[in-house]
Structure formats: structure tokens, C-alpha cells
Amino acid sequence: MINVTKTFLPPIEEYQKYLEQIWNSNQIANGGKLWYELQAKLKDYLDSPDLILTANGTLPLQIALKVLAGNGEVITTPFSYVATTAAIVWENCTPVFVDIHPEYLTIDETKIEAAITEKNTAILATHVFGNPCNVEEIDRIAKKHGLKVIYDAAHCFGVKYKGQSIFNFGDVSTCSFHATKIFHTGEGGAMFCKDPELYEELFYKHNFGNKSATEFSGLGINAKMSELKSAMGLAVLPYVDFDIKPRKKIYDFYQEALKESQLNMIKLRGGVEWNYSYFPVIFSDKKHLLKTQKILNEKVIFPRRYFYPSLNSLSYIQGKKLEISESISHRILCLTFYADLNPAQLKEIRTTLIASE
Ligand SMILES: *Cc1c(COP(=O)(O)O)cnc(C)c1O
């Protein structure tokens, strides 16, 4: 079976070497040697020094919202994974959806100001499939209206924008290290924050509010990354570049195939160094998408309708209609995209895409 992504697993001996260190240290939870080592290596690899490792990619969204958004209204995108909206609602904030740009698929910054009310405290936007939002314009709007900016950068491992890590933008950025993502620790994640005071607060909050063994800085929760997950991260990290390079080749192959069809790919923002994490294709209509999906499924190839549905249509949301996001989410399919897809599989996908017109 060929799924949309395939989890990268490092050679088992290399994972075992780290496990032996854990067995020797007897430290398997938090704050161990491997946790420090992964933290240092990621800071270096990502060129982003202000990182906190977390248990997954959703808890850092919740913590950032808890600290920065109060219980206010949060301007957000309907075109993301459900975690983005769920975190807002879970933290007793109110999501205010702003439609997306039809080509970049990120929140349409030109529509943000019209949605701002007195109750607004923050903007939570997603860099969709690693494609950056218009961070400069969002920053300008946020400063003008006194709003905080949180980026769901779950897809952005290794992405750079104008020469620096995309994680450096916004008050807080978050990443996911879930097994389906380009770098993973099984499950895991991180949050990034350049402001030292806010960083400290986020750090305490992710560890029960602990300032020291006997002192609490305030309310906190448990979002810590374990030593076992750190071991997986350390074993996977050396292979990330080897995983990204072949993806670039597959990307070029798919691009060629698209030229022969009426299908569109996401438009990447200028100045981005992308990580080739997904290959989303936009069909002319839903019928065309479903037909292609069916043919691929018959060939045991399982692309994924991602992101679907548009989040303003979730059952627990009283959302208004958002034309572009709803239209795109009905017509977008993420093609199977990982390093060791073989040429025969690729040809099969290409033929189907072209023939399904
Ligand atoms: C994967 C993902 C998340 C959630 O990350 P987890 O590590 O699974 O909690 C959040 N937002 C987006 C856009 C994602 O793709």
C-alpha cells in the first residue's frame, strides 16, 4: 500500500545505540542527556537558538495561546489541520476565520484588518505545507492593533525565508515532529520564541510551571519531550537532508507531469527555501478530484485529501461561509510524496493524473 507519506525510520542499530545510553543512564523521561543533545543539534541545524522541545505539535499551540491570547478572539485560517482551530477552542478563545489566498493558500493578509474587533488578542496563522504566510504584512497589522502573532509552523522543519529560519517570525512559532512530518521523534514538537522573558514563561509553562524544585512561577502543564523521543530524534536527524534531496527530484518529476494537465500546484512565496514536505495538487472541481483519487486507490495508491474539510465547517464552530477555503479544500489532494518512491510508482501516478483530465 502506498500512502501519502511514509515514516522515515533510521537504521535500527543507530536507534539502539541511543537506547543503550538510556539504559546506562537509567533516565527515560525528561531533562536527560539525549534531550540536551537533541536540543543542541536542532538549534544548530535549524539555525534557530530559541527552541523548547515538546511532547507534540499541538501542546505548544495551546501554551502559546494560553500565554498570549487570554480568552479573546483569535484571527485564524480555516485552511489548516484541525489542531490549529481545536487549540483555540480548547483554550477558551474564539476563532475568527479569515479566508485564504487562492494560490499561496495561506491566510489572506489583506482581509485581516476588516475582521479585527476590540476582543481580538492574537493572530494564529499556518504556514501551509511549509509555504510562509506574508509575515511582514501580518507583523505590521499586529503591531498596529496590539495583537500577538503565533505561527503554526508544523510543516516547516528546515524552511527558510529570506535567508533565516521561518521559526524566527511571530511572537511564537510551533513545529510538529509527528511521524508523518519530515523530521520526527515518533510524536513530538517544539516551540520557538525570540523574546527571552516570554521564552522563560513558555519554558516554565511546559513543565508544570516549575521554576525550581520547590518554586512555581505560575500555572503550567506537562508538555515535555521525553528521553525516549529524543533518542528517536537523534537517530533521524542525520538523515533529514538525505530525505529532502530525493524529494526535490520527485517534485520536479511531478511538476513536469502537471504541465501536461490542467492541474495546479500551490504557489510558493518568493524568498522561501522550501523543504519539499508535501505535493498538493489543486483540481478544477471536486468531481475530477474524486475520480482521480478512485483510480489511484484502485492501484493501491492512497493520496490524502489534506486539508479537508475547511475548518470553519467543523461541527463545534459557528462559522460564516468562506468561499476560497471551502472551494480549495474540496479540490485539493496531497500526492504520495516520499524519498523512496520508485520510478514505476511515479509513472503510475503521473499517467493517472494526465489521463484523468
Ligand atoms: C501535524 C500538525 C499539527 C499537530 O501536530 P501534532 O504533533 O500531531 O500534535 C498542527 N498543525 C498542523 C498544520 C499540522 O500539520
Q: In this structure, are 50 and 133 located in the same domain?
A: yes
150: CA distance to ligand 1 center in Å?
A: 14
Same domain, 140 and 219: yes
Which residue, of 208, 238, 268, is where some domain finishes?
A: 238
Helix (H, G, I), strand (E, B) or coil at 334: strand
CA-nearest residue, atom 10 of ligand 1: 83
Judge if 212 and 332 occupy the same domain. Answer: no
Indicate if the pLDDT at residue 2 is higher than 80: no
Question: What pLDDT does 338 receive?
Answer: 81
Asked if 20 and 84 sit in the same domain, the reply is: yes
Residue 80, number of CB atoms within 10 A of its CB: 25
Is residue 11 domain-shared with residue 149, that is, in the same domain? yes
pLDDT value at position 356?
66
Q: Do 188 and 274 have their domain in common? A: no
Give dist(CA 240, CA 276) in Å, integer.
11
If one residue of 5, 56, 58 were mutated to test the ligand 1 pocket, choosing by the most ligand atoms within 8 A of its CB, it would be: 58
Q: How many domains does the chain have?
A: 2
Percent of the chain at pLDDT > 70 equals: 99
| Pocket test residue of 62, 65, 178 for ligand 1, highest count of atoms within 8 A of CB | 178
pLDDT of 352 reads 86
For residue 266, the domain's CATH number is: 3.90.1150.10
Please tell me whether residues 293 and 195 are part of one structural domain: no
The arithmetic mean of pLDDT across residues 183-189, rounded, is 97
Higher local confidence (pLDDT), 63 or 338: 63
Q: Is 130 in the pocket of ligand 1 (CB under 6 A)?
A: no
Q: How confident is the model at residue 5 (pLDDT cuts 50, 70, 90)?
A: confident
Q: Which of 200, 217, 238 delimits the end of a domain? A: 238
Instruction: Give the mean pLDDT of 21-32.
Output: 93
What per-residue confidence (pLDDT) applies to 346?
Answer: 86
DSSP readout, 111-159? GTGGG--TTEEEEEEE-BTTB---HHHHHHHHHHHT-EEEEE-TT-TT-
Q: Is 189 in the pocket of ligand 1 (CB under 6 A)?
A: yes
**CB count, 10 Å around CB of 121?**
18
Which atom of ligand 1 is the closest one to the Cα of 126? Answer: 13
Decide which of 79 and 349 is more confident. Answer: 79
Please report, for the domain that includes residue 178, its CATH number.
Answer: 3.40.640.10
Residue 3: the pLDDT is: 78
Tell me if 152 CB under 6 Å of ligand 1.
Answer: yes
* Domain span at 304: 239-355
- Cα of 178 from ligand 1 centre, angstroms: 7
Q: Is the pLDDT of residue 216 over 90?
A: yes
Query: Ligand 1 pocket, 176 CB below 6 A?
Result: yes
The chain-wide mean pLDDT, for the chain, equals: 94
Do 212 and 293 sit in the same domain of this protein?
no
C-alpha cell of 98?
479569515
Q: Select from 214, 238, 262 the last residue of a domain.
A: 238
